[in-house]
Amino acid sequence: MEQEKTASEIVMDKLNTLPDIILKRENELLDKQTEFDDLTLKHTQTRNKVYSDVEGEWNLETGKPIFTNDFKRKTETERRLNQISEFIDEEAKLTKLSRELAEDKLQVEFLKRKFRAFEVVGLVISSR
């Protein structure tokens, strides 16, 4: 028959295992943050390229820009971006990743608080 662990053994197990779990989760969080940052950069570059293309279009007959003010340029840029399926997919993925990052950060913070609580309990038990 297996012996039940004492409170002190349970606390020590948690103090030994939680740091590895926290480290693993933080590494996963870092990987996800890197993916988010890379995708954000790509997304921004695409937006800037399309805007630059729109801004650079000129009416050859009049010698004036086709899109004469910032509002018209931004509107045309959005219209063109909405026709790029990869851009739309990236936007959806960015939204999803943003939510996942927020949730993962909360979970890591919870694990850290849990670890600190076990540290306190361990100190109380060891002072007896």
Q: What is the pLDDT of residues 71-81, one digit of tens each?
A: 999 999 999 99
Q: What is the pLDDT of residues 30-75, one digit of tens each?
A: 999 999 999 999 999 999 999 999 999 999 999 899 999 999 999 9
3-state SS, residue 58 = strand
Residue that has been written with the tokens 């004469």 in this structure: 68
Q: Which residues of 53-68 are buried (b: 16+ CB within 10 A; e: fewer)?
A: ebeeeeeeeeeeeebe
Could you state, in order of their start, the residue ranges of all structural domains in the chain? 25-126
Model pTM?
0.82
3-state SS, residue 45 = helix
